[in-house]
Amino acid sequence: MPINFDYSQLFRALDLPIIILYPDGSEFVILDANNAYLDLVCKSLEEIQGKGYFYCFPFSPYVNHHNWTTTFDTVLTQKKTVNTGIFTWLFPITEVSTPKDIRYFDITHSPVLDKDGEIVFIVRSLKDVTKLVGDREVLLEAQQTAQFGYWWINLEKNSMYWTNGLKDILEVEQAFKPDFENTKVLYETIGDEIAFLEAIKASIENRTELKTTIRVRTGKGNLRQVLVIGKPIIFNNICIGLNGIARDITEVHGFIDRLKLLDNELLEIEFQQSHMIRGPLSRILGLIDHLRTFRTPDRATENLLSVISDSAEELDDIIAAIVNKTQIHKDSNR
C-alpha cells in the first residue's frame, strides 16, 4: 500500500470531467483539467493551462452569452458549492451531428477556501446525466402521448406536486405550483371538489386504492374528465401522503356517449323493423292466407296470390335477418 499517495493521479483518472480555476480579477485562470474534461472539450492541457477560461471558451453554443460570462458569479458571491443546472453538450464534435451526440451535464462549481474563508480555487465538475435526461424526456413524451400525468400529495407539508404531463392535461402553465387553495378553481362544481376530497379521505382512512373520475375546468376553460388513480404512502404505519397518476379520459367518455347514442338508435331501428314495418307486412301475409284458406281462389287468382305471398315472405325474411343481427349486437353488449 503506497504511503505517499499521489492525488494528481487520482484527479487525472477520474471519469468525472473536472477543471480547476483560479479567480484572478475578472478572469478565471485554468490551473488544471483532468483527462475526462480534456476529452470533452477536445483540447490538450497545454492548449489551455495558464490561460483564461473565457479566453479558451469565449462562448457556449448552448448557453446565452450573459449566463455564460456570469456563470461563476454565484459561487464567488456565496462561497459555497453551487449547482448551475443541466446543460446540453454536443459530443463528440464532428462535422455532422446526430441526436445521439447530444449529451447532458449537471454542472457544479465548488469553491476551495483558504483559512480566511476566501476562495482560492474553483472546481468546475460536469456530471454526465444524459441517460437520466433521456429517460425523463421519454417519460414526458409518454405522458403527453398517453395524456397522463403523475401527482403527489404530501400530507405532512400540506403540499402537492404535479408533473408537466398533468399540467398539460389541466392546461395550466408549466411554472404553476399547485396547492390546496389554487387548485380549487379547477373543479367544475363544488360537488366535484367534495366528491374528490371524500375519495381521498376514504383512501387515506381505509388505506385503499384511490380510483375516481373528476370533472375539471382547465386553465383554458375546457371541460375535461380526468381519471385519478393513486395509493396512500405509508411510512412507519402513518400515512404521509398519496401519489399516483391522472389520465385525461375526456375522449373515452365522449366515445362511450357516442356509442350509447348509436346503441339507442340501433334499438330504435330494431323496434321499427320488428313492429312498425312488420305490422303491415303481417297484414298482407294474413290476408293472403285468409283468401287461400277460407275463400278457395280459382287457379289464376291462386297464381297471383302465390307471387304476392313469395314476395311478402322474401321481405319478411329480410326483416327477420336485420332483427336477428340487432339482437346479436344487443346480446354482445349485455
Partner 1 sequence: MRAETSIIVIDDDAIQRFLITTVLKEGGLCSSVEEFSDGKEFISWMGEWDHSGSLLLFLDIMMPILNGWEVLDHLKQFFEGVEIYVVVVTSSNSPSDRDKAMSYSMVIEFRVKPFKLKDAIDIMAIPKVRKLLEK
Question: Which residues, including other chains, have CB under 8 Å from residue 118's CB and lie 6 or more apart?
Answer: 79
Residue 99 is a binding residue for partner 1 (CB under 8 A): no
Among 50, 58, 85, 286, binds partner 1 (CB under 8 A): 286
The DSSP result for 132-170, as a single string, is HHHHHHHHHHHHHHHTEEEEEEETTTTEEEE-HHHHHHT
Q: Which is nearer to partner 1, 61 or 279 (CB)?
A: 279
Residue 240, beta-bridge partner list: none
Asked if 208 is part of the footprint of partner 1 (rule: CB under 8 A), the reply reads no
Instruction: Supply the minimum distance, in Å, between the C-beta of residue 293 and partner 1.
Output: 5
Residue 269 lies near partner 1 (rule: CB under 8 A): no
Cβ density class 153-188: b for 16+ within 10 Å, e for less: bebeeeebebbebbbbbbbbeeeeebeeeebeebbe
Identify the residue among 80, 184, 207, 283 touching partner 1 (CB under 8 A): 283
Is 61 an interacting residue with respect to partner 1 (CB under 8 A)?
no
Where does 25-65 show beta strands of DSSP type E? 27-33
Nearest to 216, CA basis, from 155, 277, 268, 149 = 149
CB of 276 to partner 1, least distance (A): 8
CB 327 → partner 1: shortest distance, Å?
5
SS (H, E, C) 236-258: CCEEEEEEEEEEECHHHHHHHHH
Select the span of 21-29, 44-52, 133-141, 288-296 touching partner 1 (CB under 8 A). Answer: 288-296
Stretch of residues binding partner 1 (CB under 8 A), selected from 54-62, 163-171, 185-193, 281-289: 281-289
Contact present, 148 and 247 (Cβ < 8 Å): yes
Q: Minimum Å distance from CB 312 to partner 1?
A: 10
Residues near partner 1 (CB under 8 A) are 270, 274-275, 278-279, 281-283, 285-287, 289-290, 293-294, 316, 319-320, 323-324, 327, 330
